[in-house]
DNA sequence: ACAATGGTCC
DNA sequence: ACTCGGACCATTGTA
């Protein structure tokens, strides 16, 4: 048993006596089953959306060419940079540079969005082109005879997370103008429902416990809105005075904590001055001394042992920690901070998958030898795990028993480990992945 | 075939 | 001078 686990159990957390290697062995067959199950895609919805967006895209290209004064390939960053910065002479003050010339990344273009009408059109072009080329066109070509998509899950990431490829079903759009529409095309089969369950702030809860951060543990125990709580702390105001913009900034601070926060990184993600970002971080660490200690501890451990590890013992080796090139060493420090958190969260989800698969097959699955209902009253089809997206599980279940199975999913996810704070899963039932 | 750039997700 | 953690994939443009 590793140090972290020993200490965790002493602190009253109930952590199963199992190693990361054993978790991985046990989750493998579950993954193979999920791959075989697949998820149904409503190809018609995709077809209609593609048609509509293709014509949108066409209009956008024409408008962009008109505003530019000539035809060019909007999808080419180098041609686009020529048009924007050489020909239209848009300001390049705060813009990041690439190897040759200025960046045309969306985050950079947003800084000059009010300088020319063409910018917002380009951003819209990019959004739509992305959806068509990455999702709307390729995915329908991959469905089987039952219109189901089958991904391949891998376990070779450096933190212990799972990955999904061919196709990747872990980056299906959810935000933006068309995210919901795309997700709604992932549907339950006839007579079935999709149950989607995601952990709420699992990584922050994990780091609160790994770091034994008093303030954060208190917040989670109280069931506070963690981002509002953080806003009150870093702005030095009372909870009721927190504005939505302050909450947004605090949310970025909380995300940053898990990534190994730097003033520069926070300033980039919020598009604010570095000084301002540095102040937020300072204020945060003044209150969250546990987190501050955790950060130092992981870096020290990385230096002493050459690796850091998760609750269940997944190791991340850190050969670059002693690099004399500053930014290389600093990047490795952020990895040292993030890996135990991201990796532990991944282990918790794997444990939930293993347990849920077990419960679904013993309690809610029709024996394959018979087509008839069982004593549990289920119909002729199984309930089954379909997808895993880092902190989310998607299950397909007979409509008649969706409520019951949704309760089981939530129960399993929330009790598979007992951390120092409650872990909460939000569950929804619907005909598609949207809800 | 491969690197660079950009973008989607957690 | 210059970066935030982990993935996968599309397109462009060069080799």
The 10s digit of each residue's pLDDT in A141-191 is: 999 999 999 999 999 999 999 999 999 999 999 999 999 999 999 999 999
Helices and strands in chain A: count of H runs, count of E runs: 16, 11
Determine whether the distance from the CB of A99 to the nearest atom of strand C is below 7 Å.
no
> Quick one: average pLDDT of A248-261?
92
Any idea which nucleotide's C1' is nearest the CA of A139?
C9
Closest residue by C-alpha to C1' distance, nucleotide B6: A105
The helix/strand/coil state of A365 is coil
DSSP symbols for A33-78: HHHHH-EEE-HHHHHHHHHHHHHHHHHHHHHHHHHHTS---TT-HH
Q: Which residue is nearest to nucleotide C12 (CA to C1')?
A: A76
Distance A203 CA to C5 C1' (A): 11
How far is residue A95's CA from residue A108's CA, in Å, rounded to a whole number?
Answer: 6
For residue A370, pLDDT over 70 is answered with no
Give me the pLDDT at residue A368, please: 55
Nearest to A267 by CA among A258, A279, A259, A283: A279
pLDDT for residue A381: 56
A222-229: long-range contacts (C-beta < 8 A, 24 or more apart)? A223/A422, A226/A201, A226/A254, A227/A251, A227/A254
Q: Which of A196-205, A264-273, A282-291 shows the lowest mean pLDDT across its residues? A: A264-273
Chain A 264-293, CB < 7 Å to strand C: 264-266, 268-269
Query: Looking at the domain covering A44-139, what would its CATH class be?
Result: mainly alpha
Lowest mean pLDDT among A21-35, A102-116, A218-232, A262-276: A262-276
Task: Output the pLDDT for position A418.
Answer: 96
Q: Which residue is nearest to nucleotide B7 (CA to C1')?
A: A130
Per-chain mean pLDDT for chain A: 93
Q: Report angle CA A108, A111, A116 to the nearest 5 degrees.
A: 105
Average pLDDT over residues A218-222: 96
A66 touches strand C (CB under 7 A): no
What does the pLDDT read at residue A59? 98
Confidence band of A108 (pLDDT split at 50, 70, 90): very high
Whether A330 CB is under 7 Å from strand B:
no
Region A32-47: what's the mean pLDDT? 98
Q: Which are the contacts of A393, defined by CB distance < 8 A and separation ≥ 6?
A: A196, A197, A198, A349, A352, A353, A356, A385, A387, A409, A413
| Chain A residues 373-402, Cβ below 7 A from strand C | 390
Asked if A203 CB < 7 A from strand B, the reply is no
Residue A156 CB neighbour total at 10 angstroms: 8
Q: Is the peptide bond before A167 cis (omega within 30 degrees of 0)?
A: yes
Q: CA–C1' distance A239–B5 (Å)?
A: 42
Per-residue pLDDT, A382? 85
CB of A77 under 7 A from strand B? yes
Nearest nucleotide by C1' position to the A106 CA atom: B6
Contacts of residue A195, defined as CB under 8 A and 6 or more positions apart, other chains included, come to: A394, A395, A396, A397, A402, A405, A406, A409, A427, A428, A429
Per-residue pLDDT at A14: 86
Section A192-211 average pLDDT: 97
Q: Which nucleotides of C are covered by protein (CB under 7 A)?
A: 1-13
pLDDT(A270) > 50: yes
- Cβ of A104 near strand B (distance < 7 A): yes
Position A399 scores a pLDDT of: 96
pLDDT at A371: 46
- What value does the mean pLDDT take over residues A8-27? 89
Q: Which nucleotide is nearest to A389 (CA to C1')?
A: B10
- Looking at residue A97, the DSSP 8-state letter turns out to be B
Give the CATH architecture of domain A3-41+147-203+346-430: 2-Layer Sandwich (3.30)
A116 and A90 in contact (C-beta within 8 Å)? yes
Q: Which of A46-50, A258-262, A362-366 is modeled with the greatest confidence?
A: A46-50
Place domain A222-339 in its CATH homologous superfamily: 5' to 3' exonuclease, C-terminal subdomain (1.10.150.20)
Query: What's the CA gap between A219 and A232, in Å, rounded?
Result: 12
Residue A165: CB partners within 8 Å, gap ≥ 6? A151, A152, A154
Q: Closest nucleotide (CA of A77 to C1')?
A: B5
**Domain residue spans in chain A?**
3-41+147-203+346-430, 44-139, 222-339
A380 has pLDDT over 60: no
| Residue A427 phi, psi dihedral angles, 5° rounding | -120, 140
Decide: A182 and A258 in contact? Cβ < 8 Å: no
For A62-66, A200-204, A272-276, which range has the lowest pLDDT when averaged over its residues? A272-276
| Shortest-distance nucleotide from A203 CA to C1' | B10
Report how far apart, in Å, the C-alpha atoms of A8 and of each of A22, A206, A367, A418 are.
Answer: 19, 11, 40, 10
pLDDT, residue A373, reads 46
A373 touches strand B (CB under 7 A): no
A89 CB contact with strand C at below 7 Å: no
DSSP secondary structure, A304-351, as one string: HHSEEE-TT--EEE-GGGG-SSHHHHHHHHHHHHHHHHHHHHHHHHHH
CB of A233 lies under 7 Å from some atom of strand B: no
């Amino acid at each position: 048993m590793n140090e972290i686990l020993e200490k965790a159990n002493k602190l009253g957390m109930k952590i199963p006596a199992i190693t990361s290697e054993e978790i991985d062995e046990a989750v493998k067959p579950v993954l193979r089953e999920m791959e075989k199950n697949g998820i149904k895609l409503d190809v018609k919805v995709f077809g209609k959306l593609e048609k509509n967006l293709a014509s949108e895209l066409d209009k956008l290209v024409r408008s962009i060419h008109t505003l530019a004064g000539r035809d060019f390939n909007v999808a080419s960053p180098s041609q686009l940079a020529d048009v924007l910065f050489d020909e239209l002479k848009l300001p390049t003050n705060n813009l990041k540079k690439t190897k040759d010339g200025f960046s045309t990344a969306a985050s950079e273009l947003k800084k000059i969005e009010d300088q020319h009408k063409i910018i917002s059109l380009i951003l819209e072009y990019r959004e739509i082109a992305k959806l068509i080329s990455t999702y709307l066109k390729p995915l329908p070509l991959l469905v089987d005879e039952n219109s189901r998509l089958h991904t391949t899950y891998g376990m070779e990431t450096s933190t212990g997370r799972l990955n999904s490829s061919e196709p990747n079903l872990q980056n299906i759009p959810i935000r933006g103008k068309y995210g919901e529409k795309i997700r709604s095309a992932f549907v339950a089969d006839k007579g079935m429902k999709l149950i989607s369950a995601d952990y709420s702030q699992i990584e922050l809860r994990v780091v609160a416990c790994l770091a034994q951060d008093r303030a954060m543990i208190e917040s989670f125990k109280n069931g506070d809105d963690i981002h509002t709580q953080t806003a009150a702390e870093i702005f030095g105001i009372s909870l009721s005075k927190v504005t939505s913009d302050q909450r947004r900034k605090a949310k970025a601070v909380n995300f940053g904590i898990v990534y190994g926060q730097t003033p520069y990184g926070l300033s980039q993600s919020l598009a604010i001055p570095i000084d301002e970002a540095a102040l937020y971080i300072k204020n945060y660490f003044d209150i969250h001394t546990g987190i501050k200690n955790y950060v130092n501890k992981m870096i020290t451990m990385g230096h002493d042992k050459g690796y850091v590890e998760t609750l269940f013992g997944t190791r991340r080796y850190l050969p670059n920690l002693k690099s004399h090139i500053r930014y290389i060493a600093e990047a490795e420090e952020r990895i040292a901070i993030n890996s135990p958190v991201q990796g532990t969260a991944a282990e918790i989800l794997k444990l939930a998958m293993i347990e849920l698969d077990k419960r679904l097959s013993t309690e809610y699955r029709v024996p394959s030898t018979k087509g008839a209902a069982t004593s549990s009253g289920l119909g002729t089809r199984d309930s089954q795990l379909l997808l895993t997206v880092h902190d989310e599980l998607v299950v397909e279940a007979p409509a008649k028993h969706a409520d019951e199975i949704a309760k089981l999913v939530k129960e399993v996810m929330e009790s598979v480990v007992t951390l120092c704070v409650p872990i909460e899963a939000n569950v929804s039932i619907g005909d598609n992945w949207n809800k």
